[in-house]
Structure 1
Amino acid sequence: MRRLIERNALTKLVLAVCTLLSVSTLRGEEPFRPSPDNQFPPLEEAKAYRGELVFVDHINRRGSLRLHVDGHYHEGQLHHFAMLPYGEIFYRGAPADLRDIPIGTVLYGRFYLPPDPKTSAVPNANGNNVTAPRENHAILLEDGPSLCLREGKAWKLKEVNFRGGEGELVASLERPEGGDGLGGEHKFTIDSSTRIWRGRELLGLNDLVADGTWPTNGSKQLDGQAVQLALGWHPRYLYQQFHVADIWLDEAAMKVATERQRGVHIHHIHTRWMPARVETINYGKFGHATVTATLFGGMDESLYADFKPGISAKMAAAENTLRTWWQDHDGMDGKIVAVEKIEENPPLGSSGIQIQFEVPLILEGFRPGRVARIRPQNWPNVKPPMEECVRNQDDRWPSPEIFQKR
């Protein structure tokens, strides 16, 4: 009897150990979930996906992608995504907002699980469909030119085939297997909808035919001319085929496009203010406090340069969608007393710049882990369009119901 009891005890112990190991293994396979208090997550834990932008709710920084998955098209689902508060967006090599990116643009992104599934602004995916993965909160979205410029790469044109106002481009891009972007040699369609940029000129296919750059009909070898391409939807999307929406034929043309998008971005942030994460609060007397906040990354450097010690500023509470309530009215005036570069190589989402901001009266929205918008004194004190403001509790946590039938 004693041996039987010992044997049963040993069996239970072995089963318990096996159970713990199984749970540990399962947990190890669980995708990374960022902290709900907006700590900047490690980029290596993010999953990379590529797809076509098919729907945007720019006010709440969310949308839908049709992912590029071989063998899935008509039966595939859309990948609904939301930007993390500190998520960065780039278009044509410059910082951007979702409103800047045309529907149909091919985007490349890095995604995590939702920080808090209960308050996710997009439906929580179960991961059973490869076209709708569980990782649906983006820390990075960028178009093809932005990705190539960041990596120092360019498409090499090999050949153009032209017939009756339409044609194909044969182009290649060196990229290691498993890289974020499209790589290898591809045939892309071109037609009268394709915009061609050369220097400061906007051209069409007929212009390149007229000046002899491309043939009227037939083929021409292009000898590896370096260009940047913006890709869009093609009817044979199922087979990884794409249409060329834009071609930048030289560096000058790409720089013009980048500079124009940079101007759009600067104007947007000037009127919506710089987003930041509240780190700590040093409380004084009678409501006085000093707020330490980390400015989010992905902004133009000239915007960060406007944050200087000793200048007046204004801070407004914001939600994770970066929406404010009535920033020019309910924001708190104060003074920037310190600006410090705390990290030379900050994680994605962070600028590595922290400010200390003195306010005469601390507001409820200024709490560690919360998001705020900050305006230096030389930025306009304006209210965004009403539809962008938070007007009630439902606006604080947008419902994912808008995606249910998509």
Structure 2
Amino acid sequence: MRTHANRNWILLLAVVLFGSANLLAQDDYRPQPGEFPAPEEAKSYRGELVFVDHVNRRGSLRLHVDDHFREGRLHHFAMLPYGEIWYHGAPADLRDIPLGTILYGRFYLPPDPKTSAVPQSNGKDVTVPVENHAILLEDGPSLCLREGKTWTLKQVELKENEGTLTASLNREDGGEGLGGEHELTIDRSTRVWRGKEQLGIEDLIAENIWPASGKKLLNDQSVQLALGWHPRYLYQQFHVADIWLDEDALDVAAERQRQRHMRHIRTRWMPARVDTIDYGQFGEATITATLFGGMAEELYGDFKPNVSGKMAASEDTLRTWWPDHDGMDGRIVAVNRVDENPPVGSSGIQIEFNVPLILEGFRPGRIVRVRPHNWPNVKPPIEERIRSFEERWPSPDIFKY
């Protein structure tokens, strides 16, 4: 199966998968305003998605801690404003990812603990990392596509439409994700994707591809797998939620997810960080802003010089007020690719946006949303809009035990 292309962070060094020794903070590095954080400072964790507050781009993971077989507290996390989410090898929003999905992420300490959207661990419980702000979340197929890996199937064993798959995945020393050989459970809930078809294991049995009962060697068949919860997850056991048997099947899944996310961004607008402002007279200004990474290339292609548009102020969760009528109309005067190999979170693309009147929310370091003229000028749903700086729905109290 081919590897996934056009990933901004494909050349980043792998971060060591955590063990109990690195669950405590090794230093006090925190992402700084106006910068994309150093990739080597991120800590990598994996776990099952068990709660999502998509409005505020935060949630909870039930972590998998290597060589630690005790039930721990949940890892509550918030996405950094420029944090990227990938699902089925395509850009995604938290709302797109089903609960129970095994995710792999890179995390930092909160930029400002006083304003963190989730509480920070005190570091005493080794199962709860102090790094709780994610710059990257991705499911298993996305990670494998990024690293150019596939699962290889060794053997299937079935009895009455349920059984096990023996499969292996290569992981270099210090690499992310799972590695080695695993015995994974399957049953009639397991979805099997082949080309544009959705099958079940009963269909593979009917076609004599898999046996109705007993074992069959699968000769290192190359596939992609999405894993889910298993009652013995503390012991690194997993259930197979999805199997993609061929490249076409995963291409279909990725394209559907890509189109879904493109619609989401076009109706909520492209997030960006204000870098500098060139002030003119009587409130007029030209704003230079970096578009965030992790988007479809078609979306970036809509930003062109001499195209009109609108800019709206946003908070770090990417929520806005009423952008359709409290944003500021303006014009894109320049588009520059300033970094061919941008860090995670950045597209490497800067726009210069001229407005007749500068707004307070457009100051350097602040987050904005921008639309070119051919994107919808619409109001987001009421639960996604900001009412005031003091009011956040839901409250961070939902994460307290």
Q: Find the counterpart in structure 1 of residue 101 from structure 2.
A: 105
User: d(CA) in 2 for partners of 1:102 and 1:197?
Assistant: 17
Write the mapping of 1:237-252 to structure 2, written as runs, cut at 5 A.
237-252=233-248
**Helix, strand or coil: the match of 2:290?**
strand
Query: Can you give the 5+ residue segments of structure 1 that lack an aligned partner in the other structure?
Result: 1-27
Partner SS, residue 365 of structure 1: helix
TM-score when normalising by structure 2? 0.92
2:273 to 239, 261, 277: 277
* Counterpart Cα distance in 2 of 1:191 and 1:128: 39
Residue matched to 1:165:
161
**Per-residue Cα deviation, 1:224-277 (whole angstroms, up to 9, x for no partner):** 110000000000111000000000000000000000000011000000000000
Say if 2:183 is the partner of 1:187.
yes
For 1:315 and 1:53, how far apart are their aligned partners in 2? Answer: 33
Q: Does 1:203 align with 2:199?
A: yes
- Structure 1 segment 18-57 matched on structure 2, within 5 A: 29-35=26-32, 37-57=33-53
Structure 1 residue 200 displacement after superposition: 0.3
Letter of the 1:211 counterpart = E
Provide the residue aligned with 1:345 in structure 2: 341
Deviations 1:311-346 (A, max 9, x none): 001000000000000111101000000000001111
Give the match's secondary structure for 2:362: coil
2:294 aligned residue (295, 298, 301): 298
The answer to whether the 8 A contact 1:95-1:262 is kept is yes
Which of 250, 261, 266 is the matching residue for 1:265? Answer: 261
Shift of 1:29: 3.6
Of 286, 309, 312 in structure 2, the residue corresponding to residue 313 of structure 1 is 309
Identity of matched residues, % = 72
- The equivalent residue for 2:213 is 217
Amino acid at match of 1:95: P
* Residue type of the alignment partner of 1:403: F
Deviation (angstroms), 1:177: 2.8
Partner of 1:131: 127
Q: Which amino acid aligns with 2:40?
A: E
After TM superposition, give the deviation of residue 71 of structure 1 in Å.
5.7
Q: In the alignment, is the contact (CA less than 8 A) between 2:34 and 2:364 conserved in 1? A: no
Query: What SS does structure 1 have at the residue aligned with 2:305?
Result: coil
Find runs of 4+ consecutive structure 1 residues off by over 3 angstroms: 70-75, 395-399
Distance, in Å, in 2 between the alignment partners of 1:156 and 1:130 is 33
Q: 2:29–2:41: 8 Å Cα contact kept in structure 1? A: yes
- Structure 2 residue aligned with 1:392: 388
Q: C-alpha displacement at 1:130, in angstroms? A: 2.0
Output the amino acid matched with 1:357. Answer: F
Inter-partner Cα distance in structure 1 for 2:368 and 2:141: 31
- Secondary structure class of the residue paired with 2:360: coil
TM-score by structure 1 length? 0.91
Structure with greater helix percent? 1
Equivalent residues of 1:119, 1:397 under 8 A apart: no
What is the rounded CA distance, in whole Å, between the counterparts of 1:397 and 1:204 in structure 2? Answer: 40
- AA paired with 1:48? S
SS of the counterpart of 2:36? Answer: coil
Q: Distance in 1 between matches of 2:26 and 2:183?
A: 38
Q: CA deviation at 1:399?
A: 4.2
Residues 1:119 and 2:115 are matched in the alignment: yes
Bigger radius of gyration: 1
Q: How far apart, in 2, do the equivalents of 1:317 and 1:70 lie?
A: 42
For residue 393 of structure 1, report the CA deviation from its aligned partner. 2.1
Equivalent in the alignment of 1:81:
77
Cα distance per residue 1:347-400 (max 9 Å; x no partner)? 111001000000011111000000000000110111111100001223469742
- Tell me the amino acid that sits aligned with residue 45 of structure 1: E
Q: Aligned residues, how many?
A: 377
3-state SS, counterpart of residue 99 of structure 1: helix
Q: 2:370 aligned to 374, 377, 385, which one?
A: 374
